[in-house]
Structure formats: C-alpha cells, structure tokens
Amino acid sequence: MTEIEDSIVAIDGFSSCGKSTLAKELAKELGYRFIDSGAMYRACTLYFLDNNIDINNVEAITTALDDIDIEFQNIDGYNATFLNGENVTSEIRSLRVANQVSEVAAIKVVRQKMVKLQNAMGAQKRIVMDGRDIGSVVFPNAEHKFFITAEVEVRVKRRHNELTTKGKTVTMEEVRKNLEHRDHIDSTRKESPLTKTPSHILIDNSYLTRAEQLMVALKHIKAKSKI
C-alpha cells in the first residue's frame, strides 16, 4: 500500500477510457474508497426509464429526484450500485441505459443532486472518484487530478469486449455510435461539460497496460505527496 496524506483523487475523461479501472486500482493501492460517479447518472437514468419519467419535463424530473436513493456497497470486493435498495450494477450497463444517460447527465437539476451527494462522499477525503467534472466542478481543490484519454478505436474495442464478456449482444458499430454520441454530448453540453483543467495531469493509455497506467499515476501522486 502507498502511504500519502489524506487526499481526494479526481479522474476525468471520455467514455471507455479506462477511468474506472484506474480509479479502482488506485483506490486499492491507497486504501481509499472508490466512487464511480457515472454509475450515479446511470442509476438516475434507469429510474426515469422504469418509471416513465419524461426527461424533458423539469418538474417531473425534480419530483422524481426526491424518490431516488443511490448507494454503493462493497460486495465480495466488488463495488455494487444500489438504486432504492435494489442492486442495479448490471442493469445500469445495458445499452438501454447507455443510450439515454448522456441526455440525463446534461440536466441541471440532476447534476445538482449528484454533485451534492458526491461532495458529501468526499467530506472525509480518502476517496478516488471518476467521472467528467470531478476535478473541474465536484472537487476543484482535489490534491490529485488526472485526465485520461485513449484513441477512439481502442475505446470501441474495449467497450465491445466488456459488453460481450458480460453476455450482451451488441455490434462494434452500435458501440462506436453510442461512444461518439456520448463524447459529443458530454463535451458540448451547457452544464459542466467534460473539461481538462490546467491542473489535470494527462494520461493517454492507448498503448499502456493496466499496470503501466497505474504506475504512471502513482508516480505523479507520490511526487506531489508531502509524506
């Protein structure tokens, strides 16, 4: 385990760049809590779909948000997402949710509620959180910030592999369309678009193994640490 002073590690970047993989491994190495903020937007999306909430109706969304409770639980070393007490870890990865989540994540009231929950999760520090606005909006003063990128082809292959390994039937073309669609919305939306701030350290992991990526990030963290 790597010892550093109590910190917040923010990891941002495009979809399917390996952010969560790095975040999980860093959390393990530092003995910190890992939070996948994208899972929170996905859980909201699932709730809206299952309850036929019109995402163009701000009033309906605002009311529905009061009925949404999102929690993370460690189950056998696996970080599970719970929506109103139900384990939705697998369901939030479906294409049905993926196809709607960027629209939901662009809604101001949704972001306000998620950011509030995320801020509370980081109150005691010792957290690694990945997402799109973690270093820019959620924790602008995070001690460590990384911006992860990878080439589009590499990302399409990774996501396709991830989905098919989980038994989902999906073509490369469908995955590519979904990724490009989400990249576009995530980086051009009005509310907290994906941004690399000057204090983010850029890591392109297209040709890095998981172990190499972890080593690069840890090197930066240790270099900044006062311990």
Please pick, from the candidates 27, 30, 55, 101, the single residue that binds ligand DC as defined by CB under 6 A. 101
Beta strands in the chain (DSSP E): 8-13, 33-36, 70-75, 78-83, 86-87, 127-131, 144-149, 201-204
Number of residues binding to ligand DC, judged by CB under 6 A:
14
CB nearer to ligand DC: pick between 145 and 182: 182
Measured CA to CA, the distance from residue 217 to residue 37 in angstroms comes to 19
Number of Cβ atoms within 10 Å of the Cβ of 83: 22
The angle that helices 95-105 and 172-188 make with each other, rounded to 10 degrees, is 10
CB nearer to ligand DC: pick between 181 and 225: 181
Query: Which range touches ligand DC (CB under 6 A), out of 2-10, 51-59, 125-133, 211-219?
Result: 125-133
Does 15 contact ligand DC by CB under 6 A?
A: yes
CB nearer to ligand DC: pick between 162 and 212: 162
Please pick, from the candidates 133, 150, 175, 200, the single residue that binds ligand DC as defined by CB under 6 A. 133
Contacts of 140 (CB under 8 A, 6+ apart): 197
Q: What count of Cα atoms within 13 Å lies in the side-chain half-sphere of residue 37?
A: 34
Does 102 contact ligand DC by CB under 6 A?
A: yes
Q: Give min distance, CB of 101 to ligand DC, in A.
A: 4
Quickly list H helices, 151-209.
152-165, 172-188
**Rg of the chain, C-alpha, whole Å:** 17
Site string for ligand DC, 34-73 (x = CB under 6 A): ---xx--xx-------------------------------
CB nearer to ligand DC: pick between 42 and 144: 42
Measured CA to CA, the distance from residue 30 to residue 224 in angstroms comes to 14
Q: Give min distance, CB of 214 to ligand DC, in A.
A: 19
Report 164-223 residues binding ligand DC (CB under 6 A): 182, 186
Cβ(1)–Cβ(121) under 8 Å?
A: no
Does 18 contact ligand DC by CB under 6 A?
A: no
199: which DSSP letter? T
Strand partners, 146: 11, 201
Residues that bind ligand DC (CB under 6 A): 15, 37-38, 41-42, 101-102, 105, 131-134, 182, 186
